[in-house]
Amino acid sequence: MCGIAGYIGEKQALPFLISGLKKLEYRGYDSAGIAIYNEGRIEVRRQVGKIAELERSIRGQVIEGTQGIAHTRWATHGMPSNRNSHPHRDSDGHIAVVHNGIIENYLELRNELEDKGYTFTSETDTEVVPNLIAEYFEGNLLEAVEKAKARLRGSYAAVCMSQQDPDYLVGIRQDSPLIVGYGKDGNYFASDIPALIGHVDRYTVLKNGETAVIDRDGVTIYVDGKAVEPEVMELTMDIDAAEKGGYDHFMLKEIIEQPRALKECLSGRIAYGKRVIDLGELKLDAAKAEKINKIVMVACGTAYHACYVGRYVYEKLLRIPVEVEIASEFRYRDPILDEHTLTIVVSQSGETADTLAALAEAKRKGSHILAITNVWESSIAREAHDVIYTRAGIEIAVASTKAYTTQILAIYLFGLYMAELKGKMIRREIQTIINELYRLPEKVQQIIDDNLDIIKEMADEIAEFEDAFFIGRDLDYVVAREGALKLKEISYIHAEAYAAGELKHGTLALIVDRVPVICLCTQRNLEEKMVSNIKEAQTRNGQIFSICFEGDTLVPAVSEHVCYLPKTLDLLAPILTVIPLQLIAYYASVKRGADVDKPRNLAKSVTVE
């Protein structure tokens, strides 16, 4: 996710802008920039790479001024480069803006502004913002920003300044975070609290739709043009707590961030023009898609489990065979594929050595390669023919959570894209699924809001055991595999996942003495089968923990602990079902005193074989 910093006060702005960006580095970025106003002019410096690169590029230069804005960019539209870095200015260079989020209607706005004579120098969505403000500017920056804001669709946290109407900064917020800091020597904007520590002792978090004006004398918050009284809080966090967003661990922060990550992953990808799904400029067009007669999905760990969701979904939607492969096995077994095979490689980091090598093997055999990854311009992204970015934002905890759910979302979007290209689904069917996809972020939020108590109870009980079993059927079995990995890798409980119908072929021998059996049951066509499998475990004294939809009665009747999920389409259930499993693993790990964010023996990105 991008980082924003802004300052106006008595001191020189540059030191805070640089230090503020450095405290936001943990958010992940690929370029940085500053804009400082002084005596009628805005000076802008932008540099691809780390903040140290930016500092090197301005070394020896005198960039004075007591008001400025700064930005670290996590690329979503337009590759990392100096001209795509923020701050962006309007054609005449009078308005400077930094932005975090995605302007969904940027193409429409850009065309309109180009028709009016504005020129653009970047590939970013952000660049429409300063030009739109300039279009409405008649001497008052705040008025122009409010008019421009009314035209924006999508997510944004943006801070703006003008060299024609200086001496204040304007901040606007919709979905992406923006914080206002009240300082003794001036006032501040920042994407997150770490940047403000040591500079302010009070802050307010801008709410969606609010506009903030900060100047040397104070802060004013507006709603629909009217000044309102903000909720001002004392800043008491230390830097470590602040980087975790106030949570005890990055993993919990990243689990809680999933509704926003899912919205970012969806943002701008549902078009209603010639196609319903807009995944950008994929080389896999209708002609190529027509010739695809097999899909191979390759990954490691959690990404491998996301691929398995893809297999069930693609075989249902596209009716072509889908093979799912562990990358370290795939690369050495001389796999059978050719130019009619689509190989999809999934990787959060985009740097996993085995997955990268599997990609090379598939490419060598003539397969078309699609990468689904979270890191812009990562090795896997660069080597693939096509890329879909999950836009989950940086994931720091070793245990992958928001990367997994956004990988699955990207897999759904691509499946609908292919179904449309290959004429496997009519638009109404696609629309039904998309409408429900758009409801998933709020349903994930509902699970987090409504179920923490029952989930903590489940985790506390499971944490008392050294073994645990996850069972399910169809898509539930696939998610059970991810649930077992989550619990295993951060609580060190020996957890295994089994197809529920497979229990009686061996594993049932281990279901004794109240051992936890976590049962996933969202696939309604298999519910009765699943209930009988649960009974098999229950009658052998297994302790039953079930995850099912609200309103279900059959499963709770044979369970001791139940976590209810808001209803969704069976096909889309994995994105909801995994949330309780992530939280169970998290709380069990905390209960057992394990190192949640950095579990023993594991690394976040396995860049060696």
Residues recognised as catalytic: 2, 604
Tokens representing 401?
């959570």
Region of 260 please: left (phi>0), alpha (psi -120 to 50) or beta: alpha
Q: Which is nearer to ligand AGP, 293 or 607 (CB)?
A: 607
Best CA proximity match to 251, nearest among 374, 398, 407: 398
Considering only the stretches 161-169, 301-309, 464-472, 572-580, report the one whose residues sit in contact with ligand AGP under the rule CB under 6 A: 301-309
Q: 169 vs 142, 232, 445, 473, CA distance in Å? A: 9, 19, 33, 55
Q: Which is nearer to ligand AGP, 236 or 601 (CB)?
A: 601
Residue 397: CB minimum distance to ligand AGP, A: 8
Residue 400: CB minimum distance to ligand AGP, A: 4
Q: What is the bridge-based pairing of β-strands 516-521 and 467-472? A: parallel
303 binds ligand AGP (CB under 6 A): yes
Residue 154: CB minimum distance to ligand AGP, A: 27
What is the spatial distance between Cα 492 and Cα 470, in angstroms, rounded to a whole number? 15
Considering only the stretches 177-185, 299-307, 316-324, 417-425, report the one whose residues sit in contact with ligand AGP under the rule CB under 6 A: 299-307
301 binds ligand AGP (CB under 6 A): yes
User: Which residues of 257-340 form beta strands (DSSP E)?
Assistant: 294-299, 322-326
| From candidates 191, 267, 302, 589, binder to ligand AGP by CB under 6 A | 302
Best CA proximity match to 476, nearest among 412, 442, 521, 510: 521
The residue assigned the tokens 């120098």 is 121
237 binds ligand AGP (CB under 6 A): no
Q: Which residue is nearest to ligand AGP (CB)?
A: 301
Q: Which is nearer to ligand AGP, 397 or 573 (CB)?
A: 397
Q: Which is nearer to ligand AGP, 302 or 543 (CB)?
A: 302
Give residues 305-364 in contact with ligand AGP (rule: CB under 6 A).
Answer: 347-349, 352, 355
Count residues near ligand AGP (CB under 6 A).
15
Residue 464: CB minimum distance to ligand AGP, A: 23
What is the spatial distance between Cα 561 and Cα 543, in angstroms, rounded to a whole number? 9
300 binds ligand AGP (CB under 6 A): yes
Q: Which is nearer to ligand AGP, 156 or 304 (CB)?
A: 304
* 387 to 406: interface string for ligand AGP, x by CB under 6 A: -----------xxx------
Q: Are 58 and 45 contacting, i.e. CB atoms less than 8 angstroms apart?
A: yes
* 472 to 501: interface string for ligand AGP, x by CB under 6 A: -----------------x------------
**Secondary structure letter of residue 26 according to DSSP:** G
Tokens representing 312?
């069930």
Best CA proximity match to 38, nearest among 64, 60, 8: 64
* Helix/strand/coil percent split, the chain, to 5: 40, 25, 35
- What DSSP string describes 526-592? GHHHHHHHHHHHHTTTPEEEEEEETT--TTGGG-SEEEEE----GGGHHHHHHHHHHHHHHHHHHHT
Q: Which is nearer to ligand AGP, 395 or 552 (CB)?
A: 395
- Which residues in this chain contact ligand AGP in the complex, by CB under 6 A? 300-303, 347-349, 352, 355, 398-400, 489, 605-606
